[in-house]
Homo-oligomer: A and B are copies of this chain.
Amino acid sequence: MAPMPASITRESRPWERWLARRLMASLNDPDFSLELWDGFRAGATLSSVGTFRILHPTVLTRLCWQRSLAFDEAYSEGMLEVQGDLVEVLLELNRALARSSPNWLGRLSDRWQRTRHPHSFADSKSSVYHHYDISNEFYQQWLDAQLVYTCAYYSQPDLALEEAQVAKLDHVCRKLRLQPGETVVEAGCGWGALALHMARQYGVHVRAFNISHEQVAYARDRAKAEGLEDRVQFLEDDYRQIRGRFDAFVSVGMLEHVGIDNYAELGRQINRSLKPHGRGLIHTIGRNAPAPMDAWADKYIFPGAEPPSLSQMTEIFEAGRLSILDVENLRLHYAKTLREWHQRFEASAENIEHQFDVRFVRMWRLYLCASIAAFLSGDLQLFQVTCSHAENNDVPWTRADIYRSGERGGVSPSVRG
C-alpha cells in the first residue's frame, strides 16, 4: 500500500478559519460541514449528511482557487477525507452549488476550469489510450460480463446489471428497427458488445469502428469465439474514416469524446453513411445547458471529454440535414448503473490497489461516486437521440413497437443466419 501523506498538527489560523466559513457561506450553508486539520468546524454542526475533512492547510487555499480540481486532487491524494456516504455528500455539494449564484470565487475559479481540447486524430487517440487502454483486466473487475461501459437500461427497476445492459442493447436495436440482413455501422464500439449483439440477435452485418487498440483486439477475439467474424468487422480506426452507406448508424458513448467543434463534421458523416431510409442513433452523456467539463475529470479521467447540451447536439443534425425523431433522457438509469459499478469496484478495491496503487483507487472511487451524484443532482443527463434523413418518410409511425413485450424488433434470439 502506498504511504498516505501525514496530516499536519499545527492549529488553524484566524484567516484560515475565516476562509473556511466563507467557503461554506458561498454555498449558502449546505447540509454538510467542513472540518480543518485541527478539528475546527465550519457550517452545519449537527450535519445530517457528512463532513469534509481537510487534512492540510494547502488544500484549503487551493480549494478557493481551483475548486473541483483541488478538491478532487486532494481527495485522490488522501489530503481530504469525507465522513459519511461519499455519494450523498457529493450530491448535497452539487445541490448547494446549483442553489448558490456564482460569486467572485466562482468566477475566478471558472478561469481554471475552462479547458479546450483539440480533437485531431492523434489527440483523440491519445485521449482514448488514457482511459480505455488502462487494461481490460481493470474494467473486468467492475463492469458486467460483456464489458458494456455505458448507461444500462433498467426496463424493470429490479433488473440485475447484466440484464439491464442486455436490455439497453435491445432498447437501442429496437429504436433502430433493425431487420435481418441489414447493414449497420457503429462509431465507437467499446469492447464490441453492441456490435456482437446486433449481429447475433438481429441478424445484421456490422462494421464497428474504435481507435482503442486493446478494445478492438478484445472484440475481435470475441467475434471469433462466437463464430461471428463473417458478420461483424471490427476496425481500429476513427469514425471519420467510415466509408459506404448503411441501413443504420449507431454510436453509444462516443459523442462525449468527439468535441463540440466536430459536431457539424459528424453530422455530415452520418448523412453520408445512411441510406435514404436509414436510421441513426446517438447515445451520450449530456447536460441541460452548455457547461465546461469538470477540470479534474478532464485532467485525470477523460481528457477532452465534453458532455453536450441538447442545443449543442442539434448542430450535428442541422449540419447533416437530419431530422430528430425521438429523444429519451435516461439520467436516473445512469445513476443506477454507476451504483452497480461502484459496488463491484469496492468489492475489488484491494485487487485494484495491488494492481495500481491507493491513489488510483481513490481517484476512481471519487470518479464513480461523483458521477452518481452528478446524475442524481441533474448536473448530467443521458440522451438517446434517434434521427433520419430530413426527407425520409419511411419512419416509424409511433414508438409503441419499442415497448411491445415479447417482440424484438428484428428476429428472434435464436436466428443465427
Interface residues of A (CB under 8 A from B): 95, 98, 153-155, 157, 288-289, 309-311, 314-315, 317-318, 321-329, 331-332, 376-378, 381, 390-393, 395, 397-400, 402-404
Contact = CB atoms under 8 A, between A and B. Distances in A.
A126 B323 CA distance: 33
B324 A391 contact: no
A323 B288 contact: yes
Given A157-B397, A288-B317, A399-B399, A331 B323 contact: yes
A332 B157 CA distance: 33
A205 to B, nearest CB: 28
B329 A323 contact: yes
A326 to B, nearest CB: 6
A209 to B, nearest CB: 26
Given A95-B391, A324-B310, A378-B390, A318 B332 contact: no
B323 A326 contact: no
B377 A391 contact: yes
Contacts of A321: 288
Contacts of A314: 309-311, 314
> What are the 7 tightest A-B residue pairs by CB atom distance, in nearest-first order?
A327-B327, A311-B314, A378-B390, A403-B403, A289-B318, A400-B403, A325-B329
B332 A393 contact: yes
A384 to B, nearest CB: 10
A404 B326 CA distance: 19
A331 B318 CA distance: 17
A377 B389 CA distance: 11
A95 B393 CA distance: 13
A219 B377 CA distance: 41
Given A323-B381, A331-B323, A399 B403 contact: yes
Contacts of A381: 323-324
A114 to B, nearest CB: 19
Contacts of A332: 393, 395, 397
A216 B392 CA distance: 39
Contacts of A392: 378
11 contacts: A98-B391, A155-B398, A155-B400, A288-B322, A289-B318, A311-B314, A323-B378, A332-B395, A378-B392, A402-B403, A403-B403
A332 B397 CA distance: 8
A98 B376 CA distance: 43
Nearest to A326: B328
Nearest to A310: B314
A50 to B, nearest CB: 19
A24 B390 CA distance: 23
A398 B98 CA distance: 26
Q: Which of A391, A397, A398, A403 has the most CB atoms of chain B within a 10 A radius of its CB? A: A398
Given A318-B309, A323-B381, A328 B399 contact: yes
Given A288-B390, A325-B329, 11 more contacts: A153-B398, A155-B400, A288-B324, A309-B318, A310-B314, A310-B324, A324-B327, A325-B328, A326-B329, A403-B403, A403-B404
A62 to B, nearest CB: 29
Given A324-B310, A326-B327, A398-B155, A288 B393 contact: no
A392 to B, nearest CB: 8
Given A155-B398, A323-B331, A391 B403 contact: no
Contacts of A329: 323-326
